[in-house]
Amino acid sequence: MSQPSLYHHLIGGRFVASSSGRTSENRNPADTRQIIGVFPEGSAADVDAAVAAAQAAFAHWRLVPAPKRGEIIFRAAQLLAERKEQFAHEMTREMGKVLKETRGDVQEAIDMAFYMAGEGRRLHGQTTPSEMPNKFQMSLRQPLGVCAMITPWNFPMAIPSWKIFPAIIAGNTVVIKPAPDTPLSTYNFVQTLLDAGLPEGVVNIVCGGAEVGEALVSHPDVKVVSFTGSTATGARVTKLAAEGMKRVSLEMGGKNPMIVMADADLDLAVEGALWGAFGTSGQRCTATSRLIAHRAVVGELTERLADGAEKIVVGNGLDDASQMGPQINAAQLDKIVRYVQLGREQGARLVTGGTRLGEGAYAHGFFHQPTIFADVTRHMTIAREEIFGPVLSIIAVDSLEEAIDIANDVPYGLSSSLYTRDVNAAFHAMRDLFTGIVYINAPTIGAEIHLPFGGTKGTGNGHREAGTQGLDVFTEWKSVYVDFSGALQRAQIDNN
């Protein structure tokens, strides 16, 4: 049997061993007997070296014309497209989700690359008329410097692309700490950038856990921190970054509701709920974890959802027959089991599922059945806390107003959806659902890269990723005034 590949940190364009000498194994969550690779466990010293390399690269990279930076990203998009199938297979092995989904993950990085490459020829500022004669004024974006990025395991190529491409098109440099469960996809992504001609030191990788994360967030030469992960960790990131007055972008948890009214197309609603709740094994921050249904249809809807969930094929994501893969690791699987038990204890009715799968083909992986609870009330734990697994809670309501009130009554505000044929109800929901994303007649998952992505309340801190708004956290506005009158003109003075 061949030995697993040994990886090193990427610092200043060179792969270097961790100063700690420690390593960790990355294993397939569908079959933990398979080692994907051996990755370094970084330290604060590795972070110091990576930030220094990024700081040195920034001096040159910020002066490269933005269209030229865009050309490198465009070439990276083409290379990602050529390597899509390879990267999708490797992502399925390290993350677990089925091939159709990992192909989509890589495609999202491709889409973001093409989109941000185009921004190299825009990066729009403003010109406005001056209140004084013979005077010109404009605003423009400028980069901030070294950006620290801490990314999660559920979209191990798409989410780094949301962060890295806008940062580097604007002229910043990057140190990224990939999730310990899925570092290979980040290596594949960054290697593609290097192959496309990205200069040494513009993007650096330091692997590791909390020690690396805290050292990155606290480093005095880091100007921006972009974090995606749990709300608890996001709060810690905020406190550490505040001491250095850093700019921070947070994308955190969700408890996303899908509302189904009595006039909804139930065929469409069932299909959407099954995909929203059990796609990626429920391991999306936008996953449909609450289904809020009108009492007139909740019984039929529950039966049809149970029938659909029981037909979902759970298995290794590399198997074409599989429709849902494993959970990412043992801790996540144990967390799901605890929430299922809480649901039972608090009086929710288990409709289907509720059991981890651990025998036969599942013996060496972290698998759980698609699970549905009915008779859930808004105050139950499973209706309020993010589970991040294949668990759907069904709540019955009597009106759209009650549904929206329940939908908003959680600590998160990422995504929501409404199924209805009533255009008036749709516009009420679009106005009153307090989430960063609202879908009409679609589940809570499926965001596109050219609109801003992010949420309210405990989901984020007001910044957005994707779209042109994704540039905002990585740029500083500068206003420029040019007076060509040849005389002193005094602004903010009464010249009448």
User: How many beta carbons lie within 10 A of that of residue 21, not counting itself?
Assistant: 9
Q: Which of 251, 303, 345, 359 is catalytic?
A: 251
Please, are residues 169 and 142 in contact by the beta-carbon 8 Å criterion?
Answer: no
Strand partners for 38: 6, 25
Q: Give yes or no: 285 in active site.
A: yes
Tokens of 194: 């290097």
Amino acid at 179: A
Give the integer Cα–Cα distance in Å for 279 and 287: 8
User: How many beta carbons lie within 10 A of that of residue 354, not counting itself?
Assistant: 19
φ and ψ at residue 196, rounded to 5 degrees: -80, -5
Interhelix angle 66-82/183-195, nearest 10 degrees: 120
Q: Which of 101, 119, 285, 386 is catalytic?
A: 285
Number of Cα atoms under 13 Å in the Cβ half of residue 78 = 8
Active-site residues: which are they? 251, 285
